[in-house]
Amino acid sequence: MDGFALLGILAFAYAGIVFFITFKKPEAIWNIGKIKGFRKVLGEKGTVLFFYTFGLLAIVLGIWLMTM
């Protein structure tokens, strides 16, 4: 396994964590200051959409790295 494949796997794992945080919304994580700031500026739906977009970008990055 080369370094790019490993980075691709890590990108998939990161996307999984982002989607978990977005789907379950655990109170301990959802009440962190940065996420509260996102919710204040973007609103609840905007924050969820931001996390979905960021997770999808991580998946695309993982696919790209795995095919290099």
- CA distances 25 to 17, 18, 28, 37, 52, Å, are 11, 10, 9, 15, 13
Residue 41 pLDDT grade (very low, low, confident, very high; cuts 50, 70, 90): very high
pLDDT, tens only, 3-36: 899 999 999 999 999 999 999 989 999 999 999 9
Q: What percent of the chain has a predicted confidence (pLDDT) above 90?
A: 85
Among 43, 46, 52, 59, which residue's Cα sits nearest to residue 23?
A: 52
Quote the pTM value.
0.85
